Amino acid sequence: MDFSKTAQELGSAIGVTDLIEAASELSLQDVLGVIGLERKPSALSRVLPAIGLVAFSAAVGAGVALLLAPTSGTRLRAKLSDGLDDAKHRLSDRMSNLETSPTTTKSSRHAVS
């Protein structure tokens, strides 16, 4: 038996399995990066974040404008305050109902119109 030939074949077999494992973890971006290239981003991937930012900014601006409007804003703020107070009272009522009778869930339901 030639032990050096057997050891060499075993070493190359181990090397091949390592090479296969390393190649399976490569992505297209890795290969392109090695040769100095990159994928061109699509127009949609550049436009969608900008549209989302504009829509979010418009919503925030509209909300701030409604809250800070001079004359009708007073009424709006009063209405919002009343609505929040009402929601707070309903929530506290429901919490007290749950604390007193946790087993009766059907009786605590209210119809919404």
The pLDDT tens digits for 14-71 are: 776 776 777 777 788 888 888 888 878 788 888 999 999 999 999 999 888 777 777 6
Give the chain's end-to-end CA distance (angstroms, integer).
91
Q: How far apart are CA 38 and CA 28, in angstroms?
A: 9
Nearest to 38 by CA among 47, 48, 27, 46: 27
Cα distances (angstroms) measured from residue 26 to each of 5, 18, 33, 41, 66: 32, 13, 11, 20, 53
108 vs 113: CA distance, rounded Å? 16
Identity of residue 96: S
Task: Tell me the pLDDT tens digit for each residue of 55-110.
Answer: 999 999 988 877 777 766 678 778 888 888 998 999 999 888 888 875 555 555 55
| All structural domains of the chain with their residue ranges | 1-39, 41-99
- On the question of pLDDT at 111 being above 60, the answer is no
**Torsion, CA 47, CA 49, CA 54, CA 56, rounded to 10:** 150
